[in-house]
Chains A and B, each alone.
Chain A
Amino acid sequence: MLNVTDRMIVLPGDLIGGKSNDYVIVGSVYWEGDKAYAATVAMINIKGDVKPMEVQVIPLNGAYKPRQGDIVIGYVIDILVNGWEVDIKSPYSAYLPINEATLKPIDVVTADLRNILNVSDIVLAKISDFNLAKDYPVTLTIKESRLGRIEDGTVIEIDPVKVPRVIGKKGSMVNMFKDELNCDVTVGQNGRIWVRCRDKRDELFVSQTIKFIERESHQSGLMDKVKAIIQSYKSTSGLP
């Protein structure tokens, strides 16, 4: 028997439901026997009209848990012998080895790592491995085509849990910025977002709009509200 309704807020310890043929419970829950309880402050999203429905328990807050294959935006914080230490806003520190940073062969003895990446540089990277046994649990790579050092634009930070909302269904939210304002918005799974606009003044507006999406992420009708905000910005600043 399902104990929750769509768009309801649940708190740690709240009963969600049990094992049933009608629905399957996923997300931020823990099981005690055959009953599921919420593990964090979360919102319920019930998907599907056909049984079994999916009852998603979506946390409203939380740290970034690294996953292999995720695209993240990191800040270089230290230069070590064979690579760089990178902060990816996670409980776990990340390491970018030299051989994952460049396609050219590098002579470790003579090369000065600072020529490739220096402390406080920002990189768009991919997580190639996540292994808790290592000193640096997360291993990064920037060898793919669109990865590498970020040299222009603006980087803002949001709660990693809100990332799916900023991306939108099949990238719809992010594409809106591209279509309406000619702005590239690259969303790191760790909650850092890189905004690069044709016109630099738009970057501030896009940053503020993304912060708005983060605050209102639990509301419905967000796409329409954002569309309206963009339209009103475009009309007041005289953009086509």
Chain B
Amino acid sequence: MVKQSPIPLLTDGKRVDGRLPEEHRPVTMQVGVLPNANGSALVAYGNTVVLAAVYGPREPIPRYITVPDKAVVRVRYHMAPFSTDDRKNPAPTRREIEISKVVKQALEAVVFLEQYPKSTIDVFLEVLQADGSTRVTSITAASLALADAGIPMRDLVVGVSVGKINDTVIVDLNKLEDNYGDGDLPIAIAYRNNWVLLMQLDGVWKPSEVKRGLELAFKAAENIYRNMREALKGRYMAVVQQ
């Protein structure tokens, strides 16, 4: 049963934080933030902050999980106890296990697993602050961390969420909009090919609304993808100054 939102989600076409329906929150990204990891990234969509760390390819412990012809991807999506208003119990919940699984499947579609048989690629996604759209933020962070680790991939993956408030399709849900809105549709896109690697839907949507949601998601992905490129190139940007 959907409770009533404490404050109206949409007033005069503006959302609770003053955004227009197609407006994405400001995005910040940094790559290489954990020197001990093979690759890492810190990504924020507004107030949602996710830290990604990639270890691999490496020998897995336990050894028996390896597969002879390709690498195994392990993903752990976890919300830090301090990431939410009420302390979140650190034990993995069913939601975290589900998100770990769908993120793993999205990443497996782009990583060249056959280049490192009998090894594992471990991806750790830690939500440091949760304000809606954590799974798509995590996917963006995971993609940056994999690229930072030098793991061969087809493409960079961009995560965007779209949702609904009554009949209005909105981009990039924050916590209130996720909890009290009328629909949630997180998407992950392999940018160059326009492949959809993850798509989940919550709520009741008309086909036209889903179509509009996808259009807005692809459009919002442009800016996020540009940010990702700058973050990755930024480590080597001094070359340009010559």
Contacts and interface: CB of A to CB of B under 8 A. Distances in A.
A30 B152 contact: yes
A9 B68 contact: no
A11 B147 contact: yes
A40 B147 contact: yes
A9 B239 contact: yes
Contacts of B71: 91
B236 A91 contact: no
Contacts of A13: 153-156, 190-193
B117 interface: yes
A79 interface: no
Which of under 10, 10 to 19, 20 to 34, or 35 or more describes the interface residues of A?
20 to 34
Interface in B108-128: 112, 116-119
Interface residues of B, number: 34
A137 interface: yes
Interface stretch (A60-68, A139-147, A172-180, A228-236): A60-68
A12 interface: yes
Interface in A28-70: 28, 30, 37, 39-41, 43, 59-63
A63 B58 CA distance: 9
A219 interface: yes
Interface string B26-45: 00000000000011000000
A37 B238 CA distance: 24
Interface string B89-115: 000000000000000000000001000
Contacts of A40: 147, 150-153
A61 B118 contact: no
Given A91-B56, A219-B238, A11 B232 contact: yes
Given A7-B239, A11-B232, A41-B147, A63 B152 contact: no
7 contacts: A9-B233, A11-B156, A12-B154, A13-B190, A91-B57, A92-B119, A132-B117
Query: Lowest 6 CB-CB distances: which A-B pairs, in order?
Result: A61-B150, A62-B150, A13-B155, A91-B119, A39-B152, A91-B57
